[in-house]
Structure 1
Amino acid sequence: MQPIVLVIEDDDAIQGIVEDALREGGFEAAIAKTGEEAVTLLKGRLIAYRALVTDINLLGRFNGWEVARAARDVDPNFPVVYMSGVAAHEWPAQGVYNSIMLHKPFAPAQLTTAVSHLLNGLLAVGSNRA
């Protein structure tokens, strides 16, 4: 069974790229369009998500920083990969410990490498507050 990665991205084009990259990297992507939807899925624990990939600026009430903190409330070691083109500079202050920030645009292989590193317990170059 492939590890399921919860992806929060409201841009359909980017969502498709992320989903394809994860599939090609051996993961299954579950998609949420809003932060609220993602938090509900994480806290419901109906699916054993193995990692979170989130944009920072999301539709709705919660942003990516808040979704990641909610994921860490469920599991303090939950792997988190952030994606952003405009909010990346906030990562050192807002990002959860031992997370990875990918600056948009990024190569699809960077995403699968980041998720793999976090799942394998490795600290990738650029990880937050190592």
Structure 2
Amino acid sequence: MNEHTVVPSKVPLILLVEDDWVINGLIQDILEFEGFKVHAVDTADEAWQFLLADSCQVDLIFSDIHFPGLLSGIDLANLTYGRWPHLPIILSSGSRYPQPLASGCSPVFVSKPWHSMAIGAVCRHVLARRPIRGIANEHIRQ
């Protein structure tokens, strides 16, 4: 490599799981403005199906805890950590973190209401703690 070599970077893909369409749209807009790619779904059931179909090509999951459907955000986190133990997860809720995860893993918890300016910073912080597929951490700009 020389001084003119361009190091390709991968834009992190965040799987956003939120059933409130207003909050979903707000978070998606914030994350896309912050430079992330976002795949948004309404339920943890949809998120799990996406993860399985996509062979978990996401870099981070940002999920609410309470949803209609069979799976909660806690269930999604436990299933995800069971299959992909190093995939970072951020859980968010207006209530207190309800229980420890059965998997023994610890997602980051963000209490609602959160400040919209903090969402991108929290995601960057969590992603900086692990390598992103295809790039090294030093290529992540804070």
- Out of 41, 62, 66, the position equivalent to 2:75 is 66
After TM superposition, where is structure 1 displaced by more than 6 Å over at least 4 residues in a row?
A: none
The separation in 2 between residues aligned to 1:30 and 1:54, in whole angstroms, is 12
Question: How many residue pairs get matched?
Answer: 120
The separation in 2 between residues aligned to 1:61 and 1:21, in whole angstroms, is 28
RMSD of equivalent CA atoms: 1.9
Q: Normalising by structure 1, report the TM-score.
A: 0.82
> For residue 48 of structure 1, what is the aligned residue in structure 2?
57
Q: Which has the higher helix share?
A: 1
> For residue 108 of structure 1, what is the aligned residue in structure 2?
116
Q: Normalising by structure 2, report the TM-score.
A: 0.76
CA displacement 1:65-120 (0-9 Å, x = unmatched): 0111222123111111111002x2315x2386342111111112222112111111
- Out of 113, 117, 120, the position equivalent to 2:125 is 117
Structure 1 gap ranges (5+) = 123-130
Of structures 1 and 2, the larger Rg is shown by 2
Residue 99 (str. 1) matches residue 107 (str. 2): yes
Deviates more, 1:41-50 or 1:104-113: 41-50
Deviates more, 1:41-50 or 1:109-118: 41-50
